[in-house]
Structure formats: C-alpha cells, structure tokens
Amino acid sequence: MFKKIVLENGMRVLLVPDKHTKAVTVLVLVGTGSKYETKEISGISHFLEHMFFKGTTKRPTKIDISEPFDRVGGVYNAFTGEDYTGYWAKVEKSHFELAIDIISDMYLNSKLEQEELERERGVIMEEINMYYDNPMSYVQHLWTELLYGDQPAGWDIAGTKETVAGINHDMMMEYMKRQYVASNTIVCLAGNFEEEDALEKVNRYFKDVRKTKPRKKDPVVEEQTEPALNLHYRKTDQTHLCLGFRAYNLNDPRKYAAELLSTALGGMMSSRMFLKIREDMGLAYYIRTGLNADPETGYIVTSAGLDNKRIDKAIEMIIHEYKNIAENGISEDELQKAKDNITGKMTLSFEASDAQASFYGMQELLEDKTESPEEFFREIKKVTPKQVQEVAQDLFKPEKMNLSILGPYEDKERFAKLLKI
C-alpha cells in the first residue's frame, strides 16, 4: 500500500508504510539531471549533488552532515541520472526525524562555498578519470554517445573535464534555484513510520521549498536508418562491447514484453547469451543483456567482455541469438522462467525500505502512472510468447542496430560488415 499527497506548495509526497521492518528510508527526488543541461554547464547536476554533502548553514562542515548518520549506523548517499537527482538516507526507525532533518537541510540550505567547490572539482575530475580508465564502464558511455550523439542524452552525466573546470558558484546557484523547486520535487518515505507523524514532519521540514517553475528539458532527437558503429581504439587484453537496438520508452505498454525478452536473452546465468557465448563457446567472462527505458527513449543491449582473438565470432553469435528469438520465438517454459526471475528478484528487493522508496518514487517522477508491485506482476504475468516474439521482430532490425567497441582495433569496416540480421 502507498499513498500520494500533494502539498499546498505543489511538492508531492509518497508514503509507503511497512510495519514488518525496523528501518525507514527518506528519499528526495528532483526532476532534473544531465538532460536538463546545456553544453556550457554539462555535468552541473552531478557536481551539485556532490556539493550538497559539503555543508549547510545549520551544519557548516561535511562532518556535520556525515557524523550524525555514522553515529546511528545510517546508510546515506545520492545519485544523478539523465532525468533525475536523488538524495536518501536509511536509518533505524527511531532515527526517522534525524534523517528527514538532515536530508531536507541539504536540499534547502547547502552553502556551496567556493573553497569546497574548488576542492570537489578535483574529486570529480578524478571520477571522470576513473570511468575513462575502466573499459567496462567507458564502453557504456560510447554506447549512449553512439545512440544520441551531441545532445544532452548523449553526453556523460559527469560532464567533461573542460565543462567541469568552467562551472562556477554563480552557475551552480542559478541552476539550483531554477530546478530545485516544489513542483519538481518528490519526497518518498518508506518503512516503519506513523503516517500522520511523517506527513507533519515533511510539511515542517520542507515548508520553505521554492515555488517557481523549473526549466524543461529539450526533446531527444533520434535519427537512424542503418546499423551504426562506434569504435574506440585502446590497447587492451579484452574487448568490451555493447551490441543492441533502440527500443521503447517507459510509457509504451510493450515494455513488459521487452523486459521479459531481455531477461530471457541475457538477464540470468541460464539465459541464452550467457549459456551460448560464455558457457558453450568460452568467448566471454561477463555477458549480460538489459533493457533501459526513460520517458522518451529506450534500448535493449548486450554488454560483454570478450576474447580479442575471437571478437568477430562473438559478434556473429550475439547477433545470431537476437535473430533466433525473433524468428523462432520463445517457449512457454522459458518465458515462465523469465517471469519468475523478474518477480522473484523484485520481491526480494522489496524486503528493503530503500528499494520500496525508489520503486514508487522513480515511477512518480518519470512515468505517467504509479503502479504497485502487484500491478506490475500482473502485467508481467499476462505477457504471451507471441507478444515477446512480436517485440523481438519489431526491435531486432538493421536500422535499429548499434555497436560500440572498445579494444585494440582501428578498422571500422571489419566490424561494420558484421552488422546484419
């Protein structure tokens, strides 16, 4: 059970009570991320997320924020995506007010001091270096860059070293005041709390949220008529790739069949990609297929770390598995396994209050509706083998195919000629 309340200032509150846990999670989601940025301030959403942990007017230093959580064994963090930024804390239920006090204080009263900004700029530069130096991570950036190009959806969430170097205090304050407003904010509480008391605390701690209208993001432009390839040369002992297709957005009813399709292909250790590419042929250490969907776009992609000497064979076999399921479909038994896998994993995750907060909060922020886990399970249960095959046939077409490769190669034509289905 969950309850949605819209406060007088326009801020949305989601209450997800659960008396079977001793924990409570406070999650604040803001409808802004890298898609809401311009080229000049690319990375500012992520930069601001870092700065919220550096001190407020009430808690002037970073230890004033971290130590109270540490003293009670709380778990706390933040995250930034293309369409959202989130701040959360999970504590034992008796410390609920501590969590909402600190998270609201960070949201409303962060100082964004110049000295801390300069120090954190260096930290973010090293974060960018870390992801660049990790081929498994960087190939994911090559993938989104290939799909969306030079527009916010194709930029790195952290920005570039050049844009991060140019972001200053005034830019950050302006962005925060414009985007961190009541109508663009959701407070989601999940766990063991009393509803009346929780709602009173939200009203009290978030009463000063700004009420102006936030800037909307520019629409994502997708233009593709033939297979596309992004090849990045790096001398590595293992080739990393992302091979997949443009798919559906969050509001497309076919997303349930697409989720089951991706799970059957590469979402389990007994899935098709894992068994064929890793277990039978020994071509990869890691291989997985996943579905990604946001309010405007989506994709299904297989990511893998592969033997350099047999990369061509691996690409052919991954494409073969896509083609096979589109042509021959999926059995009732295999589909049921995928359904049970998804529902089982989600059920286990909901043992944690932070997972419940994220499930409801992200739906409210990104989708046209908010469904319960039971409603989601019912939609999954209704999917038929025919619907999964129809989705596969719709998605797995040459004009929707994309391949990003990071490895010791410079000949694009070598891989371009493999992209056929």
CA atoms of 35 and 80, how far apart (whole Å): 11
Establish whether 67 is a catalytic residue: no
Supply 14's token pair: 């989601």
Supply 373's token pair: 């886990």
CA contacts within 13 A on the Cβ side of 369 = 8
Confidence at residue 421, expressed as pLDDT on a 0 to 100 scale: 81
Supply 80's token pair: 């930034």
Confidence at residue 379, expressed as pLDDT on a 0 to 100 scale: 98
Confidence at residue 140, expressed as pLDDT on a 0 to 100 scale: 98
Confidence at residue 369, expressed as pLDDT on a 0 to 100 scale: 80
Q: Which residues of the chain have a pLDDT value below 70?
A: none
Sketch out the chain's domains with CATH numbers: 3-205 (3.30.830.10), 228-416 (3.30.830.10)
pLDDT digits (tens, 9 = 90+) for 39-48: 999 999 999 9
Confidence at residue 308, expressed as pLDDT on a 0 to 100 scale: 96
Average pLDDT of the residues of the chain? 97
Confidence at residue 1, expressed as pLDDT on a 0 to 100 scale: 80
Confidence at residue 361, expressed as pLDDT on a 0 to 100 scale: 97
CA atoms of 189 and 179, how far apart (whole Å): 22
Task: Write down the residue that tokens 């957005």 correspond to.
Answer: 249
Number of other CB atoms surrounding residue 381 within 10 Å? 11
CA contacts within 13 A on the Cβ side of 169 = 10
pLDDT digits (tens, 9 = 90+) for 17-58: 999 999 999 999 999 999 999 999 999 999 999 999 999 999
Catalytic residue chosen out of the listed positions 49, 82, 116, 259: 49
CA atoms of 248 and 336, how far apart (whole Å): 22
Helix, strand, or coil here: 56? strand
Supply 126's token pair: 């090293």
pTM as predicted:
0.96
361: left (phi over 0), alpha (psi -120 to 50) or beta: alpha
What is the radius of gyration, based on Cα positions, of the chain? 23
Task: Write down the residue that tokens 């083998």 correspond to.
Answer: 385
